[in-house]
Amino acid sequence: MEFLSLLYVVPTLYICFLIWRLFDQRRDQECYLLDYQCYKPTDDRMLGTEFSGKIITRNKNLGLNEYKFLLKAIVSSGIGEQTYAPRNVFDGREANPTLMDGISEMEEFFNDSISKLLARSGISPSEIDVLVVNIAMLTSVPSLSSRIINHYKMRHDIKVYNLTAMGCSASLISLDIIKNIFKSQRNKYALLVTSESLSPNWYSGNDRSMILANCLFRSGGCVILLTNKRSFRHKAMLRLKCLVRTHHGAREESFGCCIQKEDEQGRLGIHLGKTLPKAATRAFVDNLRVISPKILPTRELLKFLVVSFIKKLKKNSSPKSSSGGIITESPLNFKTGVDHFCIHTGGKAVIDGIGMSLNLSEYDLEPARMTLHRFGNTSASSLWYVLGYMEAKKRLKKGDTVFMISFGAGFKCNSCLWEVMKDLGDGNVWEDCIDNYPPESLVNPFMEKHGWVNEVEDPDNYELPDFLK
C-alpha cells in the first residue's frame, strides 16, 4: 500500500516541481524599467527664430522659392523656439562638419545623462551587464559604445550591442534586444542609450525633399536603466507587457520613402519621399493588427469582429474608396485597453494622423504635441521625452498602461505596452518648464518674423532685413 502511495506521490511532486520551476523562471524574465534620464542641452545651443533665419540665409544654395517653402514648412511643423541644435551649427560650420563634431556631440550627451541616471539610481557602472547603444547616423572607431565603456570603466565581460541606421524607431528595437536577453539570463542590469548625431548630417543643399529634415530634427537623447531582478519589482517605474516590431523593407515604396542619399550636387542628406504617408499607414496598420489582441480586452475584439462582418456584407453594395495613403480611423477603441498614448514626435502630421486613426482626444495627444514644440523630433529618443511630459504632469498612476508607437526608416513601425508600477511624478527634463505647458498658443513666430518673404515677387531683386545680414 505504501509502495502504491509512493507511485502516486512522487510523480505528483515532480509535476508540481516542474510547474513551480516554470513559473519561477517566467518571473525572472520580466523587463522592468528602473529609471530614465532625458538629455537637455545647454541654453547656448537653443535654436530661436532669429538664428534659424540666419542659418537659412547663409546657405548660398537656397533662393527665394526655397525660402518660401521653408517658411511654410517650419510654421506648420509644430516646433517652437526652444529646441536645440549641434554646436557646429552655431559655429557656422554645418556645411563642413568633422568627425569630431559628431563624437563631441554624443560624448556631451553621454557624460551628462548617464552620470545623472547612475547617480540617482545608486547603480555603479561596474554593475551594468548589458549595454545597447543606438545612434543611427554616426559610426566611429572605436565605437560609441566603447567610448562609454572607457569613460565609465565598465566590466570587461559586459555584453555590448551597437546599433546604427535604425532611425527613429531604434529605441524600441534596442528594448526588444534587452527583453530577449532577459528571457535567458537572470538578475541582469541593462543600460539603453538612444540618441542621434545631427552634427555631420545637416543638409546644405536645395532639394526640397531633403531640406525638410533640417526643419524637424533636433538634438536630444535618453538613457534608460532596465533589469529583470524580481527584487526590484516594487522599485520599478514600469513593466514591459508586450512589444511588436513591423518591418516593410521588402516593399520598394516603403524602402525608398525615407533614405539617406546624395542630391544631384553630391550633398548628403535624408530624402523624405511622397510615398512616406502611404508607407507609414501600411506599417502602422500591420503593427496594430498584431499587437491589438495582446493589449485589448476580449469584449472589444468581439465587437470588432461583429462590426467587420457587417462591413464585409455591405462592401459589395457600396462604391470603393481609397484613403490615398492617409491614416483612417480604426474600428477598434484602443482606450478600452490603454490609458496613455506615447507617440513618436515625427512631426505635426504624424501626430495628427495617429490621433485620427486611434480616435484620440487632444488630451491624449497633448504630451506628443508639447514635446514636439519644446524639443522637436529627437529621433529615437523622442518617445521618452513624451513619457517625461506625462510623468511631470503626474498623469501616470499605479496600474495604468502606456502604449508607445514609433516609426523609422526601412520602413518600420514598432510599438509596445508598459504597465505603471507606482505613481510617478518626477519632473525629469521638464522640471523647470512644465508649469508653462501647455501654452495658450502653439503658433510659431516664424511667420511674424519672416513673413516678409511671401511679399517678394521678384526672386532676383530683393533685400534681406537687417537682422538677417
Active-site positions?
Answer: 168, 247, 340, 344, 373, 377
| CA-based nearest residue to 102, from 170, 165, 196, 210 | 196
First to last CA, the chain: 102
Q: Evaluate whether 219 touches 40 at the Cβ level (below 8 Å).
A: no
Cβ burial 284-300 (10 Å sphere, 16+ → b, else e) = beebbeebbeebbeeeb
H-state helical runs in 316-381: 348-357, 362-375
CA dihedral of 334, 340, 345, 348, whole degrees rounded to 10: 60
Q: How far apart are the C-alpha atoms of 233 and 221, rounded to whole Å?
A: 26
H/E stretch holding 100 reads helix 99-121
Per residue, what are the HEC states of 298-319? HHHHHHHHHHHHHHHHHHCCCC
DSSP 173-201: HHHHHHHHHHHHSSS-EEEEEEE---GGG
Closest CA to 386 of 440, 336, 334, 350: 350
Cα atoms in the Cβ-side hemisphere of radius 13 Å centred on 444:
28
- CA 329 to CA 333: how far, in whole Å? 10
